[in-house]
Structure 1
Amino acid sequence: MAALRSLIGAAVAALGSVLFIAWSRFFPVQRRRRRYLECSPATEQVKYLDRQILVLGLDGAGKSSIIHALSTDTTRSSSAPTHGFNSAQILHQGLRIELLEVGGSHNLRTYWKQYLKNAHIMVFVVDSTDSRRLHLARQELHQLLHEEPDLPLMVLANKQDRTTALCLPEIHSELSLHRITSEREVTLLGTSAISDGAAHSTRLQTVKTLLEERLQSLKGTAQNGSNHPQTTQCHTSLQRDG
């Protein structure tokens, strides 16, 4: 009987030791985990400022390919015509940037001006090889500029990879950009939406960076009830990167 009691006591002691070891190993981890959860800052939901880039131009200018390149950092060889609207989104340093394209066919051009009021920058795309319709592009562009005198403007002379493309000074003249005398920021760039870096083209990554920098500068600008910033003296810059 004494031996049995001794055996049971040893078993209980061994079991107690096992339980103590398990408890000492488990609960400190739980306590550390609890302290970590208590001390770690609550996950904050990012609050983005909404900005819109309105992309316009005649049909066939390459607007959809440019939006694709700006939003994905990749180029593609072709794109189906936009018969309505096309949009993409970029998140950049607290900004939620919407790239909104409205198709450039005759019927859709009548709706262009309705989208100007929500835009922070207008990107106007022209086909550098379509000299026959540059006068029409000029007419449409200046009507838009008349509607929104302060809206920053970036003109992309697209398809600079083609041998028949007009050079930037010719595009500048054909679009009568010298007539823009109001207080507006204007930039003219040569691009190629399918090669992103043809001999006389600005890389689309550079275009994207310029747009993001311009929108970042609006973050601290007082809007005074308007979507458009107050700009300094009008200047037109022709940029090439190749």
Structure 2
Amino acid sequence: MLLEWLRGLLRLLGLWKRDATILLLGLDNAGKSTLLHKLCSNELRPFVPTTKAHSKTFSLGNIKFTAWDLGGHEQVRDLWEEYYSGADAIVFMVDSADRARFGEAKREIQQILSVEDIADVPILVLGNKIDLEASVDKDQLAEELGLDDLEKERDVEVFSCSLVSGSGYYDGFKWLSQKF
């Protein structure tokens, strides 16, 4: 009891380091690998499509994240479930300028939300590529993905971001960090 109180106090003061495992999910070409690289090295570079799961570790504030980039091609999406049990959070990335794939992204995020084992896991949705003219804002993206009403029932939050300009994703991780 005293140990939990002390941990809580240290967390409140920002002196307690916490570890968290996150899953980077979403369709291919949404920017998951680019995000992970940017979070680890603060560099932007192109990536070939992810063919197998890999993880990297980075720290933001008092949280040391281990992030699993699981790929987004249709053939690998069935493997996502194998990683759910160890997840403290999910980051679901969407190309907010690729309107033709919103229906596919909606099916995938709704499938994730239907898994009872992760009902208490917070989900950060990042609508990437807002620097592109065809992109939609976070409210429209939430509506397209069927999340506009769900945010009240589940711990889900949508943020718009651009990895190219470096905007928005940090705010999303700040929100996510408050969930631990």
TM interval, shorter chain, is 0.7 to 0.9
Contact 1:59 1:105 in 2 (8 A): yes
* 1:180 equivalent in alignment to 2:150: yes
Contact 1:75 1:196 in 2 (8 A): no
The residue type equivalent to 2:29 in the other structure is G
* 1:210 equivalent in alignment to 2:175: yes
Could you report, residue by residue, the CA deviation over 1:140-188 in whole angstroms, capped at 9, with x for unpaired residues? Answer: 1111111122211110000001011112221111100035277421110
Deviation at 1:50, TM superposition (A): 3.5
SS of alignment partner, residue 94 of structure 2:
strand
* 1:59 equivalent in alignment to 2:28: yes
Structure 2 partner of 1:40: none
Contact 2:151 2:157 in 1 (8 A): no
Deviation at 1:49, TM superposition (A): 4.8
Pick the structure with greater CA Rg. Answer: 1
Deviation at 1:67, TM superposition (A): 1.1
Count of residues in Structure 1 that have an aligned counterpart in Structure 2: 163
List, as ranges, runs of 4+ consecutive aligned residues in structure 1 with deviation greater than 4 Å. Answer: 92-95
Of residues 65, 77, 89, the one that matches 2:57 is 89
Contact 1:149 1:183 in 2 (8 A): no
Structure 2 partner of 1:39: none
Looking at both structures, which has the greater relative contact order when contacts are Cα pairs under 8 Å and sequence separation is at least 6?
A: 2
RMSD of Structure 2 on Structure 1 (CA): 2.1
The residue type equivalent to 1:207 in the other structure is G
State the TM-score, normalized to the length of structure 1: 0.61
* 1:189 equivalent in alignment to 2:159: yes
Aligned equivalents of 1:122, 1:207: Cα separation in 2: 12
Aligned equivalents of 1:179, 1:112: Cα separation in 2: 25
Identify unmatched segments of 5+ residues in structure 2.
1-15
- % identical equivalent positions: 30
Structure 2 partner of 1:131: 99
The residue type equivalent to 2:57 in the other structure is Q
SS of alignment partner, residue 35 of structure 2:
helix
Would the alpha carbon gap of residues 76 and 177 (structure 1) be closer, same or farther in structure 2, given more than 3 Å must change? Answer: same
